Amino acid sequence: MYSLLIVDDEEIILNGIKDAVSSSALPLKSVRTASSAKSALKMLMKDPCDIIVSDIRMPDMDGLEMAEQILARNSDCMIIFLSGYEDFEYVKRALKMGACDYI
């Protein structure tokens, strides 16, 4: 069983992904959400997780910067980025830093 954290600044996307994975047959023991990269980092300091699904473009701190901090502390964490932007530079940076996938 895995723990999942979904990070996105858009509430409708955050809740939509949470509803989709919560009602799936995925082997998840917990599904948590954070509406910013900073709040996600605070949550992960107290309770790490196995998988993170995160937006890239968010105010204050983007998902790539957040991922760098997470992976520096927990290299076993799997990170999947999602974005509505078609910017290949984001994809290259995400995969170079060790992201599992980019959607």
Is residue 28 within 8 Å of 1, Cβ to Cβ?
yes
C-alpha pair distances (Å), 31 with each of 12, 59, 84, 97: 16, 23, 22, 24
Q: What are residue 38's phi and psi, to 5 degrees? A: -65, -45
- Neighbouring-strand partners of residue 28: 2
Tell me the three state secondary structure of residue 79: strand
pLDDT digits (tens, 9 = 90+) for 48-100: 999 999 988 889 898 889 998 998 887 788 988 887 766 667 666 666 666 66
